[in-house]
Amino acid sequence: MKIALLALLGLALGALGGAALGIGAGLAWVETFKTTGFEGYSSMLVFFTFMPLGAAIGGIGCALLFGIIAIRDAEIAIEREPVRRHDR
């Protein structure tokens, strides 16, 4: 259950962060390649192309990362058994 909840948390946080990075990348694209602003073309490019791509990539990537971290955390033994001594 912990693994699924952490993966969902990673999905949400990754989607938000990825969308923000996608907007930044889209604005950089518009400025670098001098995309025309006629009838809002440049803003539609940013908000309908770069933002959803960033959100999807960030969400999937962060969900996988959080899931892998949760799986590895579940494998770590918190309490180890004491070492048995051999009596001769």
Give the integer Cα–Cα distance in Å for 14 and 66: 10
Domain ranges of the chain: 2-73
pTM of full prediction above 0.85: no
Q: Could you report the per-residue pLDDT of 14-53, keeping only the tens digit for each? A: 999 999 999 999 999 999 999 898 999 999 999 999 999 9
pLDDT of residue 79: 61
What percent of the chain stands above pLDDT 90?
A: 70
What pLDDT is attached to residue 77?
56
CB 42 within 8 A of CB 80: no
For residue 71, name the pLDDT band (cuts at 50, 70, 90).
confident
Q: Which two tokens stand for residue 7?
A: 């993966």
Q: CA-CA distance, 60 to 7, in Å (whole number)?
A: 9
